[in-house]
A and B are shown apart, each in its own frame.
Chain A
């Protein structure tokens, strides 16, 4: 049963699973892991009720492999996990990128490395999401900072996964996943479905259109299609040809980076402040409180972090005197943001990094800003 338009008081993880079903998800394969388990628990109940399938697998490698298969069978598919499970999924994430399989992976981040802090929040998997699998590839990743955004961005994650045929991530954390707050389900929700194509020629499924996203040859719909992680050209395996590899991998990257303006989402508070903070997810709460109350400080809050939102970072960095990056890791997106900010002419880029499970408080943000001479 799809959630009806109206107001609800829900947990972040619950908002995520309601959004997944509403976006058209018909398949979930998962393995329970704190702090993401509520999503598996809820979908185990909801998916069979709405004509979908739920599978509990033996491990996370099987989970992500199963959702890749389900996607090729024509279902919108997702899994939900956290740190250790996310590490196990890495090889198949690269496979999904290479085979251009639309999937959604919800990573409710907890403190790592290894088993780390199962019940505490972290933003330790930011770079692993983009660089965890081998080779050059692009993904789309969203960073919700409220129950409402867990809902809104999960719908978007499915839409963008389908539109660009790319693995798409929700990078939530233990705080956002377990937080309860107001959710407003709107009357109309935009749903995007993948481009499918009736096949007339055997290699038609491999034609590359202008938008660089080939139509999807769903299994069982009369298409002849070879799906492979090895370098391929049309239906042929061509691992030895440098030109074909270049064309393929450059296209897989370009179809995402060319569309940064379409994909990226952000919010700016007080954009003309002398000092700007860049933050996302749970790390942004303290910064948001400070920016809302202090004229000298503004905030760029990233709602999506991959592909890197170069344009909004460049714009705020070109206008401010100094920039503070605030995140719950030892500095991951910091280096990417610093590179863009320095190119934009910003003189100084500092990092407020906090790990251990508690998001930075407004007091800690102010302390850092005082050190920088900003307030």
Chain B
């Protein structure tokens, strides 16, 4: 089985980092038991596209996670679409299937798309932690809760391998808040 996840936003939000952490968690740390009791590793590939400018331009990061050997590493139509800017919403909202789950921050995206929409107030949550820079980690935590694509432990481990030591506590808190917001969204609060 293959699952495609697309993270979108603008340069500087850490959109690509979200994809790196998720793919890393799936490839290195998440080892579900496969057929015949043998542990079958997931394969995961992260790809990205960005404009020539480093900040403020469009930013997109795709992750494909497969329980089989992967032949085609790119995500065409995502199963999960995470949107963190108005510009990204306009650009990517049409590349969805009827059952694509859309995760967005309603403080950044005011539109009301149809389908399976989960509203995660990630920016507000980050502000409550004292800094907006962890909005991406909150979004990632929520997205994991909604998709259950990797375990919480694998995701946290992959994140801590990448972020600077001094930010461990902040990022752990952010991931936890994301998880809570994700749970709330699943149980109807914030969901259409």
Contact = CB atoms under 8 A, between A and B. Distances in A.
Q: Do A and B come from one complex?
A: yes
Interface string A166-193: 0000000001001111100000000000
A285 interface: yes
A22 to B, nearest CB: 20
Contacts of A285: 71-74
Given A118-B52, A119-B49, A119-B50, A179 B44 contact: no
A353 interface: no
Nearest to B47: A179
A182 B72 CA distance: 15
Give the interface residue-count category, chain A.
20 to 34
A135 B43 CA distance: 45
Contact of A181 (B44, B48, B72, B74): B44
A178 B27 CA distance: 17
Interface in A232-274: none
A286 B72 contact: yes
B72 A179 contact: no
Contacts of A111: none
Nearest to A288: B71
A374 B24 CA distance: 38
Given A180-B20, A288-B72, A175 B52 contact: no
A292 B71 contact: yes
A34 B23 CA distance: 23
Contacts of B127: none
Max count, chain A CB within 10 A of own CB: residue among B43, B51, B72, B76: B72
A289 interface: yes
B44 A182 contact: yes
B104 interface: no
B73 A179 contact: yes
Interface string B7-47: 00000000000001001100110000000000000011111
Contacts of B51: 119
Contacts of A118: 52
A9 B72 contact: no
A182 B43 contact: yes
A359 interface: yes
A179 B51 CA distance: 16
A181 B27 contact: yes
A52 B46 CA distance: 31
A112 to B, nearest CB: 15
A84 B3 CA distance: 37
Mostly helix, strand, loop or mixed at chain B's interface? mixed
A58 interface: no
Contacts of B28: 7, 9, 182
B71 A180 contact: no
Interface in A71-130: 118-120
Contact of A9 (B23, B73, B76): B23
A312 B44 CA distance: 30
A65 interface: no
Nearest to A145: B73
Contacts of B73: 179, 181, 285
A178 to B, nearest CB: 6
A29 B24 CA distance: 31
Contacts of B158: 9
Interface in B90-110: none
A359 B74 contact: yes
A362 interface: yes
B24 A9 contact: yes
Contacts of B52: 34, 118-119
B23 to A, nearest CB: 6
Contacts of A359: 74
Interface string B57-87: 0000000000000011110100000000000
Nearest to B50: A119
Nearest to A365: B72
Contacts of B20: 9, 180
A42 to B, nearest CB: 16
A332 interface: no
A289 B46 CA distance: 17
A340 to B, nearest CB: 26
Contact of B45 (A120, A181, A292): A181
Nearest to B63: A180
Interface of A: 7, 9, 34, 118-120, 175, 178-182, 285-286, 288-289, 292, 359, 361-363
23 contacts: A9-B23, A9-B24, A9-B27, A34-B52, A118-B52, A119-B50, A119-B52, A178-B48, A179-B45, A179-B46, A179-B73, A180-B23, A181-B23, A181-B27, A181-B46, A182-B44, A285-B72, A288-B71, A288-B72, A289-B72, A359-B74, A361-B72, A362-B72
Interface of B: 20, 23-24, 27-28, 43-52, 71-74, 76, 158
Given A181-B43, A181-B73, 10 more contacts: A9-B158, A119-B50, A178-B47, A179-B45, A179-B47, A182-B44, A285-B71, A285-B74, A289-B71, A359-B74
